[in-house]
Structure 1
Amino acid sequence: MLGAARAVTVFTGAGISTESGVPDYRSPGSPWRVHAPIAFKDYLAEPALRAEAWRRKFAMDDLYAGAVPNRGHRAVARWVEVGLARTIITQNIDGLHAAAGRAGDDIVELHGNGGHARCLGCGTRYELAPIRARFERDGALPQCRCGGIVKSASIAFGQSLDEATLRRAVAASLGCDLFVVLGSTLLVRPAARFPELAAGNGARLAIVNREATPLDAAADLVLHADIGDVLEPLNRLHF
């Protein structure tokens, strides 16, 4: 299937990063349940909840501070490098696809990026290290020079996805002849809409995920296996 494809779009979820030590959301005992993100409306409304959101974020950051790209990230980066894959659409905020060597133009981060912060007013980017230093020193919440609220650049519960990002994801879904899902349960919408768009436009659909997904029955290939175990030998065969 991969060898016959001319244009591949890759869609990744939390499952591609678990080999790197980044916890997923639904496993029993997941730290995401202990440090659950604060809803966007609450973040905007209450300074005390903004402070709690930053505390939880930094606690989660510490859990996977040493994470590096794994076999799955490296395999997908190779697909882009050789021109097989044009776009990586990811639900993840960990930045590991970029760390695997891909330029930002290749990656569509549906849920933003947890590696920096932005002003919700003017969009100015802020680095996390000085924000954390001030927060841990005196509890100060970050505020933009424009007076706007500064928040992690990841998308919070209840926060709208970026329209330009969605347009890029739609274009990548409609512009491929093979859509490969790696490590996503396909339960979160609108993210789960993209493999449906691709399949509805005639693309073949392949899913590699440890657990069953709602689209397994519609897929041309389904493998319930570890991503690295599948992609590493596949890349050795083709590249």
Structure 2
Amino acid sequence: MRMRPTLNWTPTGDLPPGTTDLEPVAEALGTGGVLVLSGAGISTESGIPDYRGEGGSLSRHTPMTYQEFTASAPARRRYWARSHLGWRTFGRARPNAGHRAVAAFQRHGLLSGVITQNVDGLHQAAGSEGVVELHGSLDRVVCLTCGAFTPRRELARRLEEANAGFAPVAAAINPDGDADLTDEQVGDFHVVPCTVCGGILKPDVVFFGESVPPSRVAHCRALVDGATSLLVLGSSLTVMSGLRFVRHAAQAGKPVVIVNRDPTRGDQHAVARVTLPLGTALTSVAEQLGIPGDGTL
């Protein structure tokens, strides 16, 4: 399938209006070599809220910053209490139709790679391979002193033992797996240290105020360079960690197609922004491309 001339359009700085036309997505995928960049919006249908969409968690929740986490023992106690509770719900989330469609596109050879800004592991759970986790994963814990990694399930077991009976009711669960708890609910939650050196444990995710490792950024830039086009799924592109790859693709003359219900910071670089729900949109595109659907894609 050949690209329409509109997908070779050079962005002029004017924002393309949102559309419900899925043809730009289908044509990009039909050409192959598509690099997917996904954000929190692809996981909302799995019950994980996003940050900035309608009802997004930033309207009521301030994420932990790296500086606060490393500087303050009370902040770490608050974080781990909230994250430990949130993990129970977060860890039960399952891939939705959007994740399954991305995995199906990859199985059928239409993708050159998948980069996700999410820390939930749902792309991998749906069957996607070689996913670059731009902001890390909540599945892992790292010691800030010795660098040792621990599976999150092992830390969860230790925290359960150290905080028997800890079961407050959270007001909400956030995209980073953090549960909304009051200071009273956090109480005297006990934080456990690294079993190797006794150092401070941190989830292996990029906190607000922390930088993505340079080697990971370089790898993602190389993926953009090797792609035919960039398909952004469910990201507002508000933070530079994702926006830089959209800009890089546009500067290289590669078409950028965005599927996101709300306007994004990268719209001026896109040839189209589709405003349909991701699960519906990607399932429809799969059907258009003749990818067999059995309820799980």
- Would you say same fold, with TM above 0.5? yes
Measured at CA, do residues 185 and 35 of structure 1 come closer, stay the same or move farther in structure 2, by a change above 3 Å?
Answer: closer
1:182 and 2:233 matched: yes
Aligned mates of 2:54, 2:285 — CA distance in 1: 31
Contact 1:7 1:85 (8 Å CA) reproduced = yes
1:132 and 2:183 matched: no
Aligned mates of 1:35, 1:141 — CA distance in 2: 25
1:19 and 2:70 matched: no
Q: Tell me the alpha carbon deviations over residues 175-218 of structure 1, each in whole angstroms, 9 at most, x when there is no partner.
A: 11110000011111132110111121121111100001132233
The alpha-carbon deviation at position 57 of structure 1 amounts to: 1.3
Aligned mates of 2:91, 2:223 — CA distance in 1: 31
Q: Which has the higher contact order (CA 8 A, sep 6+)?
A: 2
Q: Which moved more, 1:123-132 or 1:182-191?
A: 123-132
The alpha-carbon deviation at position 112 of structure 1 amounts to: 0.7
1:121 and 2:161 matched: no
Structure 2 gaps of 5+ residues are 1-26, 165-188, 292-297
Partner of 2:7 in structure 1? none
1:154 and 2:181 matched: no
Contact 2:37 2:114 (8 Å CA) reproduced = yes
Measured at CA, do residues 51 and 220 of structure 1 come closer, stay the same or move farther in structure 2, by a change above 3 Å?
Answer: same
Structure 1 gaps of 5+ residues are none
Partner of 1:230 in structure 2? 281
Q: Secondary structure at the match of 2:250?
A: helix
Aligned mates of 1:131, 1:162 — CA distance in 2: 28
Partner of 2:242 in structure 1? 191
Aligned mates of 1:133, 1:32 — CA distance in 2: 28
Bigger Rg, structure 1 or 2: 2
Q: Secondary structure at the match of 2:31?
A: coil
Q: Tell me the alpha carbon deviations over residues 25-55 of structure 1, each in whole angstroms, 9 at most, x when there is no partner.
A: 1246545665543221221122221111111
Contact 1:144 1:150 (8 Å CA) reproduced = no
Q: Tell me the alpha carbon deviations over residues 34-82 of structure 1, each in whole angstroms, 9 at most, x when there is no partner.
A: 5543221221122221111111212332443421111110111112112
Aligned mates of 2:195, 2:241 — CA distance in 1: 30
Q: Which moved more, 1:139-148 or 1:28-37?
A: 28-37
Count of aligned pairs:
237
Q: Which moved more, 1:25-34 or 1:227-236?
A: 25-34
Q: 1:45 aligns with which of 53, 71, 81?
A: 71
Residue 143 of structure 2 aligns to which amino acid in structure 1?
Answer: C
Q: Tell me the alpha carbon deviations over residues 96-134 of structure 1, each in whole angstroms, 9 at most, x when there is no partner.
A: 00101123xx21111110122111233322123224324
RMSD (CA atoms): 2.0
Partner of 2:179 in structure 1? none
Q: TM-score, normalization: structure 2?
A: 0.74
Q: Which moved more, 1:196-205 or 1:143-152?
A: 143-152
Contact 2:259 2:273 (8 Å CA) reproduced = yes
Partner of 1:206 in structure 2? 257
Measured at CA, do residues 34 and 216 of structure 1 come closer, stay the same or move farther in structure 2, by a change above 3 Å?
Answer: closer
Q: Secondary structure at the match of 1:123?
A: coil
Q: Which moved more, 1:218-227 or 1:134-143?
A: 134-143
Partner of 2:15 in structure 1? none
Measured at CA, do residues 236 and 98 of structure 1 come closer, stay the same or move farther in structure 2, by a change above 3 Å?
Answer: same
Q: Secondary structure at the match of 2:241?
A: coil
Aligned mates of 1:222, 1:107 — CA distance in 2: 23
Aligned mates of 2:63, 2:108 — CA distance in 1: 37
Measured at CA, do residues 12 and 3 of structure 1 come closer, stay the same or move farther in structure 2, by a change above 3 Å?
Answer: closer
Measured at CA, do residues 30 and 6 of structure 1 come closer, stay the same or move farther in structure 2, by a change above 3 Å?
Answer: closer
Contact 2:102 2:128 (8 Å CA) reproduced = no
Partner of 1:95 in structure 2? 121
